[in-house]
């Protein structure tokens, strides 16, 4: 089924906005939805990458006061410098590992069966971490130090497997490091800025030849939709994790993973 490009842009913007920060994998959902819409190949990758800009902007707008405060305090505040350093440290493992494995991952893991497997494995990880996580000793994202940030960054590498979820990997990494659930979620949001920003620039440059005349307008529409929906998703998730664990997302992941496996087997 090949849908008109304007409709594809709206659908992808909605999917990206809803799924980017929930622990259910935006990349996995976009791969599946793009195939259903008839958008495949390098052009599909460009759409999937470009609309992440909307999600990044949603984090920047939601946390603009905090981000401006950190930027202003880099010279005068040791706490602000420490927080910026922690985010940078958490960013580096996935950045380095992603550069080394990008071609292999694009070739072998961008398919429905790989996504289905990642959805189920991620669900099992959620159940396990929520069951056996240590007691929280950090209750603010700004208090995540370099050591815990490095471990969260290593956990983020698992999210290079499409379908696992960057949000799930980093939140679970935070929980395993003794970070309270809401604080781990907020740190995941801050970490999304350099991670998604760098991935967007890198992938767009690599796949720039895949853009077709007329795509830019619909890419911007999809990005705008992604921004609005992602902003709402951020606020909803923060309220949700304040009183709930992540297991409802795990059940959803298992259901979707089994559905995808059944549909392509």
Residue 207: name the closest of 74, 102, 91 by CA: 102
Close Cβ partners of 63 (under 8 Å, ≥ 6 residues apart): 189, 190
Residues linked to residue 179 through DSSP beta bridges, in sequence order: 138
* Backbone torsions φ then ψ of 74, nearest 5 degrees: -60, -35
**Would you give the distance in Å from CA 76 to the centre of its chain?**
32
Location of structure tokens 């991620």: 122
Mean pLDDT, rounded, of the chain: 93
In this predicted structure, what is the pLDDT of residue 15?
96
For 136, which DSSP code?
Answer: P
The CA-based angle 209-215-216, given to 5 degrees, is: 95
Say whether pLDDT at 162 is over 90.
yes
Separation CA 223–CA 20 (nearest Å):
12
Separation CA 69–CA 25 (nearest Å):
30
| Contact indicator for 67, 60 with CB cutoff of 8 Å | yes
Location of structure tokens 């000793």: 137
For 141, which DSSP code?
Answer: G
Location of structure tokens 């999937």: 48
pTM of the model: 0.95
**pLDDT tens string 13-50:** 999 999 999 999 999 999 899 988 888 777 787 788 88
* Count of CB atoms situated within 10 Å of the CB of 78: 8
Question: To which H or E segment does residue 94 belong?
Answer: helix 78-108
In this predicted structure, what is the pLDDT of residue 44?
80
Say whether pLDDT at 1 is over 60.
no
Confidence label for 219 from pLDDT (cuts 50, 70 and 90):
confident
């Amino acid at each position: 089924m090949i849908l008109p490009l304007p409709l594809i842009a709206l659908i992808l913007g909605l999917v990206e906005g809803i799924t980017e920060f929930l622990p259910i994998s935006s990349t996995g959902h976009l791969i599946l939805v793009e195939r259903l819409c008839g958008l495949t190949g390098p052009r599909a990758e460009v759409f999937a990458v470009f609309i992440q800009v909307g999600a990044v902007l949603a984090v920047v707008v939601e946390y603009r006061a905090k981000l401006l405060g950190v930027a202003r305090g880099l010279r005068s505040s040791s706490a602000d410098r420490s927080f910026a350093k922690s985010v940078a440290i958490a960013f580096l493992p996935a950045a380095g590992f992603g550069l080394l494995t990008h071609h292999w991952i694009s070739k072998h893991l961008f398919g429905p069966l790989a996504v289905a497997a990642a959805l189920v494995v991620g669900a099992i990880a959620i159940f396990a971490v929520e069951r056996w996580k240590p007691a929280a000793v950090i209750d603010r994202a700004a208090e995540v130090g370099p050591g815990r940030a490095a471990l969260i960054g290593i956990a983020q590498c698992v999210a290079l497997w499409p379908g696992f979820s960057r949000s799930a990997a980093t939140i679970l990494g935070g929980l395993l490091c003794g970070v309270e659930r809401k604080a781990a979620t907020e740190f995941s949001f801050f970490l999304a800025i350099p991670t998604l920003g760098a991935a967007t620039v890198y992938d767009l440059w690599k796949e720039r030849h895949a853009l077709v005349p007329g795509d830019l307008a619909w890419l911007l529409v999809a990005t705008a939709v992604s921004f609005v929906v992602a902003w709402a998703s951020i606020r909803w998730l923060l309220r949700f994790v304040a009183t709930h664990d992540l297991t409802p997302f795990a059940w959803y992941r298992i259901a979707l993973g089994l559905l995808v496996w059944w549909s392509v087997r």
